[in-house]
Amino acid sequence: MARSDAARQTRAMWIVSVGNGDWPSKPGLPVAKQQAEYRALLDLAVRRNLNTVYVQIRPSADAFYPSPYEPWSRYLTGKQGKAPGYDPLRFLVDEAHKRGLEFHAWFNPYRVSTGPNRKSLAPGNPARRHPDWVYRYGDALWYDPGLPQVRDLVAKVVLDVVRKYDIDGVHFDDYFYPYPLPGKEFPDKPTFKKYGAGFKNRADWRRHNVDTLVQTVSAGIHQAKPWVRFGISPFGVWRNRSDDPNGSATHALQSYDDIYADTRKWIKSGWIDYAVPQLYWPIGFGAADYRTLVAWWARQVTGTHVQLIIGQAAYQVGHGGPWNAPAELSRHLTIDAKYPQVTGEAIFSATDLKQDRRGFASRLARDHFGRPVLAPVSPRTAAARPSAPSRLQAEDRRLTWQGTGAAAYAVYRSPAKGPACAAPDPHDLLMVVPGTTHQITDHSAKSGQVYTYYVTALDSRHRQSPPTRGAQMTARGG
């Protein structure tokens, strides 16, 4: 089965908060303006038939919610530690769910600050209270991943959010140990001396530190809420084949060796539920060819329960070479559709999707995202199904049904007369609406066309009920 035939796919976009990249557009905005900007991004996701958002809520050892461990983010108010006057994360999650979108809370594990000034940190920041946990590397501040106290803090931060908020997933990006700077060694030699007994070298010890965090966070999430997915978006090259026979036929920076992220191990060990490799290179690029890397990542998840979602570089479009072609990203998705292991796409990032440079987003919508699609069910979720809605009626483009207390409802429209008891075709999904909605108006129905409608219930884990009995309608002028 090709991916394009799948009943479910992840279609995600990243919403960046560090540096006020996507949201909020600048610090210190009035609450109403902050909220309006976010709603507009979610409405964009719905218009583009996406179903998932990865929202950065801990960009730099800070918080977009009232945290018992870390200060409020300066990207909200302009000053770290200053409260914004509401709980942004509660708002972020609720607004996503109102639109039928999955919400994945995106954490950066180790970055303390994008600048070098420790005095810019709030007085109560753990990085201020424990200066020995923090190193300056280049122009940024980083926690030392080799310290058990740091790993414990990160795990506590993540699990606090998992327990308090109705999130669908926890998302890490590609930053573990910082990317290497020419001629500069990350200054963790004293930590290695203290904790590195039994390791041949510092590289193996560093990978062990990251592995320990990933395994600990994974176990904590799935013990607290088994249905919450844990995903990581690694740099697109694990290792080059020239250094490891299990690697890809590439010649690029290696996440295993350079940032000590052994994503392949995490996949094979089942510590993560999904991987979103950042395949931010064009087709045919010599050092890291897109086609080569999709095939490599597809092989890594084969035989596992790990879902493979491909990270797409919308930010590259229009910036030279193959990226000047509006169809470059569309061609990527055409390649992905040949691999059943690829269960979705993620677009970096929201602002680029909104700008639609050279019409790339419109092209994606036309070629690949023409209709909505349901997000996958977590493989850790039991197979129980919610109760079906009832009493579906269709007249004058208006559908009504009896609800069941579901988290959401999926509305299907078949473009012909069909048996009232038939199962709806996944490709006929018309929209997903919140569980509080029990009626819609189908403005897109063509006058004179006969349609059969079905509605199914979805629970908070995306499990789907059997459909209602079908309701037929002839669309009138509208």
Residues 145-188 pLDDT 10s: 999 999 999 999 999 999 999 999 999 999 999 999 999 999 99
Do the domains 390-474 and 3-367 match in fold?
A: no
CA distances from 346 to 14, 97, 279, 310, 373 (A): 7, 18, 10, 6, 14
pLDDT of residue 423: 77
Q: Which amino acid is at 56?
A: Q
pLDDT at 29 over 90: yes
pLDDT at 253 over 50: yes
- Selected from 2.40.128.110, 2.60.40.10, 2.60.40.1120, 3.40.50.720, the CATH number assigned to the domain covering 390-474 reads 2.60.40.10
DSSP 130-183: -GGGEEEETTEEEE-TT-HHHHHHHHHHHHHHHHHS--SEEEE-S-SSPPPBTT
pLDDT at 251 over 70: yes
Q: Which amino acid is at 67?
A: S
CA separation for the pair 383, 464 (Å, rounded)? 10
pLDDT in tens, 420-449: 667 788 989 999 998 999 999 999 999 999
pLDDT of residue 418: 61
Higher-confidence residue: 424 or 342?
342
pLDDT of residue 421: 64
Residue 100, both tokens? 């039928």
**What mean pLDDT is reported for the chain?**
95
Residue 235, both tokens? 């740099």
Q: pLDDT over 90 for what percent of the chain? A: 90
pLDDT of residue 3: 43
Q: pLDDT over 70 for what percent of the chain? A: 97
pLDDT of residue 476: 81
CA separation for the pair 229, 226 (Å, rounded)? 8
Residue 178: how many CB atoms within 10 A of its CB?
18
Residue 189: how many CB atoms within 10 A of its CB?
11
Q: 320: which residues sit within 8 A by CB, 6+ positions away?
A: none
Q: 358: which residues sit within 8 A by CB, 6+ positions away?
A: 317, 318, 324, 325, 326
CA separation for the pair 346, 326 (Å, rounded)? 17
Of the candidate ranges 55-59, 340-344, 385-389, the one whose mean pLDDT is the lowest:
385-389
Confidence at 380, pLDDT banded by 50, 70, 90: confident
Confidence at 478, pLDDT banded by 50, 70, 90: low
Verdict on whether the full-model pTM lies above 0.85: yes
DSSP 260-309: ---HHHHHHHT--SEE--B--S-TT-SSS-HHHHHHHHHHHHTTSS-EEE
CA separation for the pair 313, 296 (Å, rounded)? 18
Q: Which amino acid is at 391?
A: R
CA separation for the pair 57, 18 (Å, rounded)? 9
SS3 of residue 235 by DSSP: strand
Query: Mean pLDDT, to the nearest integer, of 110-136?
Result: 97
pLDDT in tens, 176-235: 999 999 999 999 999 999 999 999 999 999 999 999 999 999 999 999 999 999 999 999
pLDDT of residue 1: 29
Asked if 154 and 210 count as a contact pair (C-beta separation under 8 A), the reply is: no
Domain extents for the chain? Answer: 3-367, 390-474
CA separation for the pair 295, 290 (Å, rounded)? 9
- Selected from 3.20.20.80, 2.40.110.10, 3.40.50.720, 2.60.420.10, the CATH number assigned to the domain covering 3-367 reads 3.20.20.80
